[in-house]
Amino acid sequence: MNKALLVLLSVFLLAILVFFFFSANKKTNSDRSVGNGSKKVSQTKNQVNQTKQLSTTNQAEPITSLRGPRLWLEPSKGDFKVGSIFDVKILIDSDGKTVAGAGISSLNYDPKKLEIQDADKTMEGIQIRKGDVFDMVMINKVDSAAGKIKFSSLTKLGQENYIASGNLATITFKVLEASPDEQLIFDFKPGLTTDCNIISFSDSKDILQVVGNATIKLLPN
C-alpha cells in the first residue's frame, strides 16, 4: 500500500471518529436538556400544587403561620347577635417582599344578612375604612345589592423597598338576620391578576399566594 493511500485512509478514519464523537456529544446534551426540562416541569408542578394547597384557608391553621404573601380577615370566626355592629379587618403580609400596593377585586358577603356601615358619609356611595399600610386609596366601593366590596390602595409615589404588613382596611358590619354559618369570601385564584392581588414593586406582578376567609355565626336576639 503506497504512502498516499495510507494518508487518505487515516484521514477517513479520523473523520469517522470525529463524526461519532460529535454525534455522541449531541445526544448527551440532548438527554441532559430533556432531563433538565423534565426536572423543571416537575418543579413547576410541585410549585403549582403547593400554591393550590396554600390558596385558601378558613383558619384551620393560623394564617400567620403560613408562608407567602397573603391577605386574611380578622376575626376569622365569631358569634354576633342580630342588631349588633362589629368590625372585620382585612390584613396583609407581603412576607418580606417589596410591594407597590394591593387590591381586593371582590370580598363577598350576604347583603340580606349583613349591612356595611358607611365609613365616610362625605363621599358618594358606601365606603369602608382605609387602613394604615398604604397611603393612596385607588378604589373604595361597596355594592350593597350584590354584596361585594372592592378596595385597592398603593404606596406613595416614589416610595421604594416597602414591605407591607398590617391593616389594609376595616369593614364595619351590622347584623340584619340570623345565620348559623355566614361566610366572608375573597375572590381569589392563584396566578389570576383580575381578582384579589398583592403587586410586586420590582416587576408589577401579582405575588398573592394565600387568602384567609371568615366564617361567622349570626345569632338571633
Query: Model confidence over 165-200: pLDDT tens digits?
Result: 999 999 999 999 999 999 999 999 887 888 999 999
- 44-71: average pLDDT: 55
129 and 140 together in one domain:
yes
| Cell digits of residue 111 | 347583603
6 and 87 together in one domain:
no
CATH number, domain of 164, equals 2.60.40.680
The C-alpha torsion from 3 through 4 and 6 to 8, rounded to 10°, is 170
Residue 177 domain boundaries: 56-219
pLDDT for 57 equals 53
In 3D space, the residue among 75, 104, 97, 77 whose CA is nearest the CA of residue 87 turns out to be 75
Name the domain count of the chain: 2
- 1-12: average pLDDT: 40
28 and 14 together in one domain:
yes
Q: What average pLDDT does the structure give for the chain?
A: 79
142 and 115 together in one domain:
yes
49 and 151 together in one domain:
no
pLDDT band at 64 (very low <50, low <70, confident <90, very high): low
pLDDT tens string 95-125? 999 999 999 999 999 999 999 999 999 999 9
- 30-38: average pLDDT: 41
Q: Which of 23, 39, 54 is the last residue of a domain?
A: 54
Cβ atoms 164, 94 nearer than 8 A: yes
Segment holding 37, helix H or strand E = helix 3-54
| 147 alpha-carbon distance from chain centroid | 22
48 and 81 together in one domain:
no
In 3D space, the residue among 197, 170, 207, 201 whose CA is nearest the CA of residue 105 turns out to be 197
pLDDT band at 24 (very low <50, low <70, confident <90, very high): very low
pLDDT for 157 equals 83
Is the pLDDT confidence value at 10 over 90? no
48 and 85 together in one domain:
no
Q: Which of 54, 69, 94 is the last residue of a domain?
A: 54
